Chain A
């Protein structure tokens, strides 16, 4: 994972819109990502208008029909329209992405802030604790937490946020530590400004950019992880429509009816790819030091 130690956000901000335009011109992949993501976002928001069928409507007459004009992605074993389900599924996946990333930021940022600002023993203690959460191979800790809390999408989101917050704690800590060296912080302290005020007004804004860049890059990961947990049967359950769950339900059919897995699979793939492209772009734009080749 990339850890960022940038103080560049402040330097960048004034010319953001200008740079954005120039950047987008030179970076087609970023634009592609934005376009795909916008389409998916639209699908999620306007699902009832876009989906040609009620996503849960069962119609045995049309079961396991291949893709056609009347059923773009075909139908499943109950004759439900897969395209409509995929459209509604966008709501779930995007919600998961936003909530998990938001929750992880909400836990990670304050911890990183405290650790980076105060340093010393507080820092050591907080970072050691965070490190424990990173001591698991991917997916394992969310699985264990979900096993303890009970299966379900809400618990999966909580589990993912708990497993993911240390990355943000680390990033924020890093940038706060470098800001802490800055003269103006000392000046503020000397003028008698309180710790809390300095943290919130100076350290926090300057360290948020790398955290958000990281968040945008992890957004796709959270969608993947939630889909994986639904796939193995401990995540979303009907009537929630979720892409990973759809693929799981198709497992007994996909070798003979490929489209039952293709629709939701493609949706996961495109969404995560779009989000990753945006994340990469944002990083290159806001945090050029981290630029990967």
Chain B
């Protein structure tokens, strides 16, 4: 087990270095060289030379890269041109807002998608199965920004049930103050016992969460259905069926158990997918997370911030995949035996 963990960790570190090579290369081909950014419009040649030396641009490329790598490892992602804050501070400030919509969305997807997939596998070709298949075909073809806008149209425009955008109502934010302990509004407001603040936060988070949920629902339902179908055809399930066990207990105790491992992968993949999806969703809902931050940074040519988010999210993505892999390893006895 330990060896496997070490091996996987090593692989992840290697990939991360690769990620940093990519961002390093990208920051070098960026419009506006670092020298220009430092000196402004009309620098003299001496100023340029001095700045090049100061930034280490006169050193060989590999040396520059190691310097870059060292900075990153020290948490130095540069200074955001937009907020004039260290990028790393901005990232931590905004990370919680992203996690606050992606995590509930993953739970919802599993809560809805898995049962739907199971049912549609069990009752093949039933009305429910066809509906679920139709949903998954349509769901994959709808871009996330359209889903988000449709939800705004329906739940804000037509029904008026949910707010259009933002994170909390103004007066509640003022009158029900809570300390930012974890950075999650939903948790912090509960910790402070401020119920109105909690409900306002939930109310505002709902549409972004639904958007992410709907976007991933199709994939999760589809994968659950196919793994469940396979599981139902497996030897041992057929055996217990022959023993005459009640159907429901077969489905949920045996077959679903067999799909647990593939499902784990699905959850991991979904979470990663949502990190990407949050970019569009946060943009549409003006949600102050990492996704909205990266879009805003691009539009304002704030490249240190763009690269910072890129590295940050890639690391998170890899970490999620690693955790899934390790869980997979822990759960599956066949893998461990190898």
Q: A-side interface residues toward B, CB under 8 Å?
A: 29, 128-129, 131-133, 135-141, 143-151, 220, 224, 227-228, 231-234, 244, 247, 251, 254-255, 258, 261, 265, 268-270, 272-273, 276-277, 292-293
B277 partner residues in chain A, CB cutoff 8 A: 138-139
* 10 closest cross-chain pairs (CB), A and B: A132-B18, A138-B276, A137-B276, A273-B141, A137-B275, A272-B141, A148-B26, A293-B226, A144-B310, A139-B276
Task: Give B173 Cβ to nearest chain A Cβ, in Å.
Answer: 24
Scoring A133, A136, A258 by chain B CB atoms within 10 A of each residue's CB, the highest score goes to A136
Whether B30 pairs with A141 at a CB distance below 8 angstroms is no
| Interchain CA distance A138-B157 in the complex, whole Å | 30
Docked-complex contact B146 and A135, CB < 8 angstroms:
no
**Distance to closest chain A CB from B101 (angstroms):** 14
Tell me the complex Cα distance, A251–B274, Å. 22
The size of the chain B interface, using a CB distance under 8 A, is 55
A254 engages B27 (CB within 8 Å): no
- Which residues of chain B in 240-283 are interfacial with respect to chain A, using CB atoms and an 8 Å cutoff? 272-277, 279-280, 283
B285 to A: closest C-beta gap in Å: 12
How many Å from the CB of A288 to the closest CB on chain B? 14
Shortest CB distance A253–B (Å): 11
- Please give me the residue from chain A that is nearest to B280 by CB atom: A228
Docked pose: A251 CA to B137 CA in angstroms: 26
Question: Taking A137-B273, A140-B279 as contacts, is the C-beta distance between A228 and B314 under 8 angstroms?
Answer: no
B interface, over-half SS: helix
For the residues of A in contact with B, the DSSP-based class is helix
CA distance A29 to B272 in the complex (A): 30
Give the distance in Å from the alpha carbon of A217 to the alpha carbon of B196 in the complex: 47
Are A269's CB and B15's CB within 8 A? no
User: What are 24 inter-chain pairs, A to B, with CB distance below 8 A?
Assistant: A132-B19, A137-B314, A138-B276, A139-B277, A140-B279, A143-B279, A143-B294, A144-B307, A146-B298, A151-B298, A228-B143, A231-B143, A232-B295, A255-B153, A255-B156, A261-B146, A269-B138, A269-B142, A270-B141, A272-B140, A273-B137, A273-B141, A276-B137, A293-B121
B318 adjacent to chain A (CB < 8 Å): yes
Smallest CB-CB separation from A130: which chain B residue? Answer: B18
Please give me the residue from chain A that is nearest to B19 by CB atom: A135
